[in-house]
Amino acid sequence: MRPPGTVPLPRRFYHRTAQELAPLLLNKLLVAPDGRAGRIVEVEAYSEDDPASHSHRGRTTRNATMFGPPGHLYVYFTYGMHWCANAVCGAPDDGTAVLLRALEPVAGLEKMRLARPAARTDRDLCRGPARLAQALGIDGEADGSDLVHGPFRILDDGVNPPPRPTTTTRVGITRAKELPWRWYVPGSRYVSRP
């Protein structure tokens, strides 16, 4: 089941470079199996030729999903306590993905609040890559799962991406800081950083 008036993004939608796909994911819906959902308002691109990417030094146990078929969820663990979620794209064996950095909460807010006791306001439920993963219940179990068929899916409800998304450098990296591979919805109050 899925919300009325929505369709999953088809597999072919993910057959693009991360830099092409990232801004196209803005305003799409990330939906959990229990109905929790948020609108994607901030993303970053990572690819093999990028020194900041997990895939830059080749395939490992941890990043294997990044090198798998597109349209799947790459979930990794970091800082000893946080999970972060990516949409795998490109062709199989490409090692490229889009990091989902912030959502505007749209459904299942009660469950998100329970999952995110540290969030003092609803604005903080999904504002940041580890926060959104926690809010929707995404963890290592979901690594490698299918974004087209679920359990976690990206759906299109007819809202177009912003025609002029804001482009900036990426957050929290030490290498390739200068590359302009972060995009967000202009004016959204749910982005992690303006």
Surface-to-core class of residue 110, CB atoms within 10 Å of its CB (0-12 exposed, 13-18 middle, 19+ buried) = exposed
Window of 7-15, 52-60, 153-161, 182-190 that interacts with DNA by CB under 7 A: 52-60
Shortest Å distance, C-beta 175 to DNA: 6
For residue 86, give the 3-state DSSP assignment. strand
Q: Does 189 bind DNA (CB under 7 A)?
A: no
Q: Does 55 bind DNA (CB under 7 A)?
A: yes
Q: Does 97 bind DNA (CB under 7 A)?
A: yes
Q: Does 52 bind DNA (CB under 7 A)?
A: yes
Q: Does 155 bind DNA (CB under 7 A)?
A: no
Q: H-helix or E-strand containing 7? A: strand 7-8
Surface-to-core class of residue 173, CB atoms within 10 Å of its CB (0-12 exposed, 13-18 middle, 19+ buried) = middle
Beta carbons of 33 and 177 less than 8 angstroms apart: no
CA distances from 48 to 39, 52, 90, 102, 122 (A): 27, 9, 11, 23, 35
- CA 143, 70, 125, 171 dihedral sign is positive
Window of 21-29, 119-127, 144-152, 157-165 that interacts with DNA by CB under 7 A: 119-127
Q: Does 81 bind DNA (CB under 7 A)?
A: yes
- Which residue number, 52 or 107, has a Cβ lying nearer to DNA? 52
Binding string, residues 158-177; x marks residues near DNA by CB under 7 A: ------------xxxxxx--
Of the candidates 12, 35, 62, 123, which one interacts with DNA according to CB under 7 A?
A: 62
Gap between the Cα atoms of 41 and 32, Å rounded: 17
Using CB under 7 A as the criterion, which residues of the chain lie in contact with DNA when the complex forms?
A: 44, 46, 52-55, 57, 60-63, 66, 74, 77-82, 84, 86, 97, 99, 116, 118-120, 124, 128-132, 170-175, 192
